[in-house]
Amino acid sequence: MSHNTFGHLFRVTTFGESHGVALGCVVDGCPPGLPLEAEEIQAELDRRKPGQSRFTTQRREPDQVKILSGVFSDDRTDGRQFTTGTPIALMIENTDQRSKDYSEIRDSYRPGHADYTYDAKYGIRDYRGGGRSSARETAARVAAGAVARKVIPGISIRAALVQMGPHAIDRSRWDWDEVGNNPFFCPDAETASFYETYLDGIRKDGSSVGAIIEVVAEGVPPGLGAPVYGKLDADLAAAMMSINAVKGVEIGDGFAAAALRGEDNADEMRAGNGDRPRFLANHAGGILGGISSGEPVVVRFAVKPTSSILTSRRSVTRDGDEVDLVTKGRHDPCVGIRAVPVAEAMMACVLADHYLRHRGQVGQQP
Amino acid sequence: MSHNTFGHLFRVTTFGESHGVALGCVVDGCPPGLPLEAEEIQAELDRRKPGQSRFTTQRREPDQVKILSGVFSDDRTDGRQFTTGTPIALMIENTDQRSKDYSEIRDSYRPGHADYTYDAKYGIRDYRGGGRSSARETAARVAAGAVARKVIPGISIRAALVQMGPHAIDRSRWDWDEVGNNPFFCPDAETASFYETYLDGIRKDGSSVGAIIEVVAEGVPPGLGAPVYGKLDADLAAAMMSINAVKGVEIGDGFAAAALRGEDNADEMRAGNGDRPRFLANHAGGILGGISSGEPVVVRFAVKPTSSILTSRRSVTRDGDEVDLVTKGRHDPCVGIRAVPVAEAMMACVLADHYLRHRGQVGQQP
Amino acid sequence: MSHNTFGHLFRVTTFGESHGVALGCVVDGCPPGLPLEAEEIQAELDRRKPGQSRFTTQRREPDQVKILSGVFSDDRTDGRQFTTGTPIALMIENTDQRSKDYSEIRDSYRPGHADYTYDAKYGIRDYRGGGRSSARETAARVAAGAVARKVIPGISIRAALVQMGPHAIDRSRWDWDEVGNNPFFCPDAETASFYETYLDGIRKDGSSVGAIIEVVAEGVPPGLGAPVYGKLDADLAAAMMSINAVKGVEIGDGFAAAALRGEDNADEMRAGNGDRPRFLANHAGGILGGISSGEPVVVRFAVKPTSSILTSRRSVTRDGDEVDLVTKGRHDPCVGIRAVPVAEAMMACVLADHYLRHRGQVGQQP
Amino acid sequence: MSHNTFGHLFRVTTFGESHGVALGCVVDGCPPGLPLEAEEIQAELDRRKPGQSRFTTQRREPDQVKILSGVFSDDRTDGRQFTTGTPIALMIENTDQRSKDYSEIRDSYRPGHADYTYDAKYGIRDYRGGGRSSARETAARVAAGAVARKVIPGISIRAALVQMGPHAIDRSRWDWDEVGNNPFFCPDAETASFYETYLDGIRKDGSSVGAIIEVVAEGVPPGLGAPVYGKLDADLAAAMMSINAVKGVEIGDGFAAAALRGEDNADEMRAGNGDRPRFLANHAGGILGGISSGEPVVVRFAVKPTSSILTSRRSVTRDGDEVDLVTKGRHDPCVGIRAVPVAEAMMACVLADHYLRHRGQVGQQP
């Protein structure tokens, strides 16, 4: 991952600022001949779109995606559109750029935000809505992820919110079907009800909370991952950590594995179907030695609480003067919620890339 | 990070198997004119070397490093050796390759190891000592890290073991000077004493435990990191996750940040020295928006328990027959211990790379 | 250079097909704080624009560029726009997409074109106007080059057509000021007059001719280039060879150097100004050992004749049937002419990239 | 190509100086399961080895290659050695490091060499034998090329010297079998005889001459190459231009194509065998739109005369004083000769890389 590009064979380059003309991405290296309609990308974007419940920012952005290149249809395809193997450029124009007074954010550094560090690095900063450091950039990832999902046949990628603030779900109640039934992408209906009240309280306090997201990929063939620095888990760690506000990433048992003894952690095997062993457990989260084992790939990551809050915080201005700041505006009280579709997109992109890399080096369909 | 190379301007490519002829690395893109003697690299390698206490594998490897290229000295330099800006190749020859019977490991898949996944990917595997998937590869990283430490002036990088099995240290007793006084790189002398007894028990049981390592870089200038996929934390996450047996990585407060409220997590600022603000806390672990803030960069990662244990585990053979396996041989009861110098090396490499990348794009010394 | 991206620190990714919605590029890694207005990019695009004389295709494309991201202005900058260090996305919408009958080009392979090879590779092809293989893609390069020109202070990059068909210019009459005075970017006014008559004849025959272009960069500091595979001349060779229809690239004396003796080819040196030697000749074209010497960087490349001609050629259809083809439509009789601004753009991008790479590794302004 | 690495999936990183401890390379991304013995690599190295006739440098280097990693054999393979998919490190130790007086080359800049530019870039330089800029580095390429040849089944790669000084061969006498029969890799026996006398004269004069090399790959499947910056010809241009002393590269008709008319240059097609057309000519040198057509890939490049000559040349010292220099020592009077096996190696590496890249993106065996 370098600059604003990630992936080795399936490469995604994103661009755009929160309040600029447009944002988008170029997906390069996609296999040819995959069916791809704008509507499919739009469906993914709509899941991430702000303003869908009172628990996400009220900024109104239609987030309408346009495919600029890399697909083709004609009468021979009956009007169905296919990838051609050339770069797929996707663009989302910004529409809700309220004219507002940016003087405070222009001159002061909001605690927890990237205001100071962007200034320290570049000496110049598009401060409107956070500019390039805004989570709005993740719309471009979701669009790219919709393309990536097409690459590996038979794969399923789903994510869910498994903790909000200090409140974890009850995993025994996990039901993927519930994820679409509440505004939190929460797989535990009972905890989701609790979150409504809880997050309302946080929101009314002008505060915010963090969250933990879990993303699971099923149908990943064994053999994906390229030791030792192109390990599948290393690339997943980078992919998830690159999402705004993420502060930790773990695979399988993750940090809990540190507390285990060897005999509890090593997933045993028995004879399975065909030439694959059957694993009796999946502490490893589907990855051994950086290479997929055929078991579900399980990744979790922690999102810090939204830094924009209505409580006054101490800070400094560009010129070094001390100030007290309140970040007004339309904010997500739990920015982790909208990270759920982003997590799926990043998983899809990483797996698509490794699928192509494996096929390149080893040849057979893994 | 692709294949066996990481870094963008400061690039490290490693090679070698556990029981092959040699292992090593090529460090490319190092600035010219840095003093570099083999002894300095050797000193770092000696910290990672096996067989230094009864708590690490008894394999006896001198791990003697040889510089093959990229440095120069003559009478004008008074015999002192300097980097020339060309690739620095470092080689460590393997000496302790006991002839032993590999038939079991050749035909069966050790649970928790990469045996099955390497076979699934490549169809062929150097099974002796784990081949390429052996933690022995990390010697090459430590060698590269010794070079990387030279790149940023005034930087300090230190790591410590902060949890073994379920037993965390008492952070109020943290003393960096203690790290060198016990065989665990533990900064808390009292807990280190406890670990002696604890790990002896684990070892005698033929079992193993995991650990958590913390690595801290001080003196990192603000401005390092390249949004949005070349974020400093994204690269650190990949770097640490690529270390053998690592299952989780976090920055600053990490997973604990998910449980915080916004007003507790956002590090406040006051007027500081010169043109830098003074941060009143460092929940962010020195990184905001993927860019260093000038505060200490703090990374923690979890290492799973060593998979090679003396307890019999269920598994299958290459041919799919069910077997019960005991992994005999010389093992680390807590492989996390020797990950401490490796963590420092990876931190040094990532920071060196981002230092050069920043200087390339922005120009001034950050 | 991989897929549709080139450059290491100054990275350009282009997208778009000849008759698609839009084409453009993302310029990533540009230094912050450089003044950049759309008008400056437009001025370069206008030099490459088709339909400016009877000697280029009559396709009417305004080639209007839009900056989508990566720049910023506010009242503090007096409305002047500056780069911010984030990705600069540039877009050119296609407007002249005449509805026409593509059935012939859809089913048959035009000799000299990439029709067959795209089909052989991808199995699907946007055949309208050549799709991705159209020289229209070079508009995106010219736009990127306009940004690249800003990176190195005091640099001058100019290109000229020095041969059309078998007719070379008389180098003794070389006058850079003439380049803008004729429709061929020819620095020799007398030969330019001859080309008018000559190319009219070619055009009326429904034929085409090749050309040789020379591009010269002055003010390049010594020290740019990264041995041994990031050599400045290797990157320039790739950059120029990647331009449509280019079949050969040479540096300095190029192929003629093969016929020289050592004493004639080795550019002698004498004491110069300051710490740089003065070279008494520049057979090397400003590059020694892959690194710039401070002398003008001189590159020449050969462009083959336009493959679309009105003479009937033998070919086959997608289904393998034999056909005779005439490529009707609006063509450049000498596609080399419009390669002149493209050559300048590629030179600018390569030099900008190496300038940043050098600054990254070595630190001082070279 | 960046720093000292080239290739995207089949990646080669080389290291080493002319008079350092050792030189070599790491080949990363090689497919697993390819038979590979050190002897096969040695056979290629022996073709490039100096001191085989009076027409190459009399430096005596056995150039003995050692495989350090990435291959495996056991009783199941009957002792035959196969690649494992992990990095293949190859090392050649330097043995003939005559102690000599380097004071002149240390302090003065040899015209035509990289002495000045390395100093300008790095400020420090291993001047012994040219250090990193020595053509000795190409031994590592030849070793890597021996591995690359294994990747594409049924491919044939051969190179020959087709011009020495101003004297081109007679192509009507081309006989590949003659290439091994003379010390010049010349396919025209009659001209080879002439070269003996000619080059003896050059050598006795203490002078040198340039050369042109042609390399031809047969059996390249159609479809290799990745538009638009990963074009097969762009990568070949970079690969050849990166060879020491190369000043020009051309594909197919190359520079001569500039003088052709469209109807002569566009290779016509007729129905062929199976699903491939039959091309009636190959002006394009096997590449159309950056993608292989299935025709032989034909590349030529120009090598400048050896810069080390016995004729006194004007130059300056490091301190800027004017001097007259004679480059004593053991030199190749025509360094182009030993570029022949290097050309084959670079062709093999580029094609292997594109073969894997194509398989990655598109899937089927091309």
Give pLDDT tens digits for C20-77.
999 999 999 999 999 999 999 999 999 988 777 878 776 677 899 999 999 999 988 9
B361 in C contact zone (CB under 8 Å): yes
Smallest Cα distance from C224 to chain D, Å: 7
* Tens-place pLDDT, residues C3-14: 999 999 999 999
Separation between Cα atoms, residue A111 and residue B295, nearest integer Å = 14
Tokens of D55: 């027409």
Q: Is the pLDDT of residue A333 over 90?
A: yes
Q: Is the pLDDT of residue D118 over 50?
A: yes
Separation between Cα atoms, residue D349 and residue D11, nearest integer Å = 8
Characterise D252 by phi-psi region: left (phi > 0), alpha (psi -120 to 50), beta (else): left
β-strands C313-316, C322-325 pairing: antiparallel
Chain B residues near residue A308 by CB distance under 8 angstroms? 262
Smallest Cα distance from B82 to chain A, Å: 28
* B277:A315 CB<8 A: yes
Q: Please give the span between the terminal C-alpha atoms of chain B, in angstroms, as a whole number.
A: 24
* B89:D16 CB<8 A: yes
Which of the four pLDDT bands, split at 50, 70 and 90, describes residue C366? very low
* A14:C87 CB<8 A: yes
* Residue C183 marked as a ligand binder: no
Q: Is the pLDDT of residue C97 over 80?
A: no
Longest Cα separation, chain C: 69
* B360:C86 CB<8 A: no
* Residue B103 marked as a ligand binder: no
Question: Choosing among D1, D3, D36, D71, which should be mutated to test the B contact, i.e. which has the most B CBs within 10 A?
Answer: D3
Chain C residues near residue B365 by CB distance under 8 angstroms? 363
* Residue D292 marked as a ligand binder: no
Question: Choosing among A86, A101, A133, which should be mutated to test the C contact, i.e. which has the most C CBs within 10 A?
Answer: A86
* Residue B308 marked as a ligand binder: yes
* Tens-place pLDDT, residues D192-246: 999 999 999 999 999 999 999 999 999 999 999 988 999 999 999 999 999 999 9
Separation between Cα atoms, residue A255 and residue A252, nearest integer Å = 9
Chain B residues near residue C83 by CB distance under 8 angstroms? none
Other residues' Cβ atoms within 10 Å of the Cβ of residue D90 = 28
Query: Residue D228: is the preceding peptide bond cis (ω within 30°)?
Result: yes
User: Which carries the bigger pLDDT value, residue C61 or residue D336?
Assistant: D336
* Tens-place pLDDT, residues D16-33: 999 999 999 999 999 999
* D91:B87 CB<8 A: no
* A9:D85 CB<8 A: no
* Tens-place pLDDT, residues B90-139: 999 998 666 577 877 899 999 999 999 999 999 999 999 899 999 999 99
Q: Is the pLDDT of residue A52 over 80?
A: no
Long-range contacts of D99-106 (CB under 8 A, 24+ apart): D102/D127, D102/D128, D104/D325, D105/D327, D106/B74
Which of A17, A74, A122 is the closest to C32 by Cβ? A122
Residue of chain C with shortest Cα separation from A19: C69
What local confidence, expressed as pLDDT, does residue A366 receive?
46
Which of the four pLDDT bands, split at 50, 70 and 90, describes residue B27? very high
Which of D9, D86, D227 is the closest to A360 by Cβ? D9
D197: Cβ contacts below 8 Å, ≥ 6 apart: none
Position A80, amino acid: R
* Residue C289 marked as a ligand binder: yes
* B361:C362 CB<8 A: no
Chain B residues near residue C363 by CB distance under 8 angstroms? 31, 359, 365
Residue of chain C with shortest Cα separation from A127: C72
Separation between Cα atoms, residue A298 and residue A283, nearest integer Å = 9
* Tens-place pLDDT, residues B142-172: 999 999 999 999 999 999 999 999 999 999 9
What local confidence, expressed as pLDDT, does residue C166 receive?
98
* Tens-place pLDDT, residues A105-148: 899 999 999 999 999 999 999 999 899 999 999 999 999 999 99
* B86:D126 CB<8 A: yes
Q: Is the pLDDT of residue D324 over 50?
A: yes
* C11:A17 CB<8 A: no
Question: Choosing among B11, B28, B150, B362, which should be mutated to test the C contact, i.e. which has the most C CBs within 10 A?
Answer: B362
* Residue A84 marked as a ligand binder: no
C365 in B contact zone (CB under 8 Å): yes
* Tens-place pLDDT, residues B323-345: 999 887 768 899 999 999 999 99
Q: Quick check: C117 and D291 in contact, CB under 8 A?
A: yes
Chains that touch B (3 or more CB pairs under 8 A): A, C, D
Chains that touch A (3 or more CB pairs under 8 A): B, C, D
What local confidence, expressed as pLDDT, does residue D366 receive?
47
Separation between Cα atoms, residue B325 and residue B327, nearest integer Å = 6
Task: State whether residue C152 is helix, strand or coil.
Answer: coil
* B88:D28 CB<8 A: no
What is the reported pTM?
0.97
What local confidence, expressed as pLDDT, does residue A349 receive?
98
What local confidence, expressed as pLDDT, does residue D217 receive?
98
C286 in B contact zone (CB under 8 Å): no
CA distances from B95 to A209, B281, D74, D345 (A): 54, 49, 19, 33
Interface of D with C in 210-249 (CB under 8 A): 210-212, 222-231, 233-242, 244, 246-249
What local confidence, expressed as pLDDT, does residue A97 receive?
64
What local confidence, expressed as pLDDT, does residue B366 receive?
46
Residue of chain A with shortest Cα separation from B308: A262
Which of B20, B69, B125 is the closest to D15 by Cβ? B69
Which of B163, B230, B249 is the closest to A3 by Cβ? B230
Chain B residues near residue A313 by CB distance under 8 angstroms? 263, 266, 268
* Residue B149 marked as a ligand binder: no
Work out the percent of chain D whose per-residue pLDDT is above 90.
Answer: 85
Which of the four pLDDT bands, split at 50, 70 and 90, describes residue B222? very high
What local confidence, expressed as pLDDT, does residue C365 receive?
55
Name the DSSP letter for residue D20. Answer: S
- How much is the ipTM here? 0.97
C86 in B contact zone (CB under 8 Å): yes
User: Which carries the bigger pLDDT value, residue C287 or residue B365?
Assistant: C287
Q: Is the pLDDT of residue B54 over 90?
A: no
Which of A31, A356, A363 is the closest to D31 by Cβ? A363
* Residue A203 marked as a ligand binder: no
Map A222-274 to HEC letters: CCCCECCCECHHHHHHHHHHCCCCEEEEEECCHHHHHHCEHHHHCCCEECCCC
What local confidence, expressed as pLDDT, does residue D177 receive?
97
* C258:D210 CB<8 A: yes
Residue of chain B with shortest Cα separation from C360: B360
* Tens-place pLDDT, residues D340-358: 999 999 999 999 999 999 9
* A124:C13 CB<8 A: no
* Residue C48 marked as a ligand binder: yes
Q: Is the pLDDT of residue A240 over 80?
A: yes
What local confidence, expressed as pLDDT, does residue D260 receive?
96
CA distances from B252 to A166, B169, B292, B296, C344 (A): 17, 17, 12, 9, 47
* C15:A89 CB<8 A: yes
Separation between Cα atoms, residue D58 and residue C135, nearest integer Å = 50
C68 in A contact zone (CB under 8 Å): yes
Smallest Cα distance from C201 to chain D, Å: 12
What local confidence, expressed as pLDDT, does residue C275 receive?
81
Interface of A with C in 26-45 (CB under 8 A): 26, 28-29, 32-33
